[in-house]
Amino acid sequence: MVFSSLFFLFIFLPLTLLLYYLVPQRCKNLILFISSLVFYAWGEPVYILLMFFSVTINHALGLLIGKSRKNRKTARRALIFSVIINVGLLGFFKYSGFLLQILGSVVGASLQNPGLPLPIGISFYTFQALSYIIDIYRGRISPQQNFIAFGTYISLFPQLIAGPIVRYQTIAGQLLRRPIEFNIFGEGVRRFAAGLGKKVLLANNVGLLWEQIRELPPEGLPIITAWLGIAAFALQIYFDFSGYSDMAVGLGKMFGFTFPENFRHPYISRSITEFWRRWHITLGTWFREYVYIPLGGNRTGRQTHLRNIFIVWFLTGLWHGAAWNFALWGLYNGLILVLEKYCLLKWLGRAPRFLSHAYAIVTILLGWVLFSFDNMATGSSYLGAMFGLSGGGIFNLQAIYYCYTHAILIAIAIFASTPIYGTIKQKLQKKSGALYYVATTLSSLLLLFLSTAYLVDAAYNPFLYFRF
């Protein structure tokens, strides 16, 4: 993983950018398409055929639906075929082992898990392909005639492995022509550096704390240690995922694209409803547009509305992984959202900010316990430790050691998860534009240097969202 990261930073990305800016406008998509296929083959070479198949079949079906606007029967058949192909491929590679496990438990037999490697980014590019086909069927967009342009949209390597999920209509015009401006490129570099720093300097280091605490037996785990551990995981997954999203947005700007934002400081939320408006925004938008609203949304009776919410959140949980803990995590969020919608939000709106924020943080952290433990028994024991049911007391010497040695890191991570730094940057930009650009340029260079130094020496560089 470390070698791959360094190879990407110092060989693949600079070479791609050089070729991209040397070729004429009409060849830029071709460079990006080829580079994206090379990037995809880097992870699992055989799966380049899967990517090429997905591009080819969805491009052809999009053209067929576009030509069959007056023949709704043909268009509907093409839509259904596309859904079957896309969901079928996603289900086969991501959920076959999980489904065999369920089937085996039902029939009382041990069915062998095929253990297929998960194709890189399949959850993301499958959802992009589905949104493209559905939007053509709905008449919201016209099909992309150019195969290379469509292939670029599906396989675009900056956001292939961790999003954001980009709907075709968002970048349809950009696929045809993109501006090449030095200031936009500079913004992209600064955003990429910020994302890399989030991932390498913050996520990886708080992740080490979480790994140490997670390896401890839940029985006898002190309350302070348990809460510190899951708080470290909460910070790790945020900086890991939002860091990759920032890198994707930054890389997009370097190539002339404007990708949607995926995170807006979710840990400042005062409710789970607000949290999900700030966390993985493009996934929430996708499920709202293509599952929740087609099911009827909140336009039907209360029972149907509740059904729709739980269907969406059950699927949201399973999207993150083929295991029961993810499904349970999704249903947990659905339940909290229902409770907030029908009774809690009014109270939270009137409550002091520190109380509503404390409620949101505690509720979020409890959810992360469900998310992080695929072994339900271990997760239940960990939850018990958080509430003093493990017999470990409030704290011990080890808990004091963890707090003492990681206090500065946790403080920096909490500060970085708030909008305070962004507010300071805005004020600096208004007061002195020149000073702002000098300061942000120097800080970006420092982040790149420190991140690279860390990667060279690091043995721990996990990618949490790779398996989602």
- Buried-state track 429-466, b at ≥16 Cβ within 10 A, e below 16: eeeeeeebeeebeeebeebbeebbebbeeeeebbbbbe
Q: Between vectors from CA 133 to CA 132 and to CA 138, what angle results, nearest 5°?
A: 100
In terms of Cα–Cα distance, which of 343, 272, 348 is closest to 313?
A: 272
In terms of Cα–Cα distance, which of 334, 123, 152 is closest to 241?
A: 123
d(CA 329, CA 348): 22
d(CA 461, CA 201): 10
Are 199 and 244 contacting, i.e. CB atoms less than 8 angstroms apart?
A: yes
| Residue of 59, 305, 320, 406 marked catalytic | 320
Q: Nearest 5°: phi and psi at 317?
A: -60, -50
| DSSP letter for each residue of 76-101 | HHHHHHHHHHHHHHHHHHHHHHHHHH
**Burial class of residue 136 (count of CB atoms within 10 Å of its CB; 0-12, 13-18, 19+):** buried
H-run or E-run covering 395:
none
Q: Between vectors from CA 184 to CA 182 and to CA 190, what angle results, nearest 5°?
A: 105
Output the CA–CA distances (angstroms, integers) from residue 366 to 209, 328, 344, 361, 377, in the order listed.
Answer: 18, 12, 18, 9, 15
Residues in the chain: 468
- Determine whether 320 is an active site residue: yes
d(CA 231, CA 217): 18
Q: Give the pair of three-digit tokens for residue 176.
A: 């045809």
Q: Report the catalytic residues.
A: 320
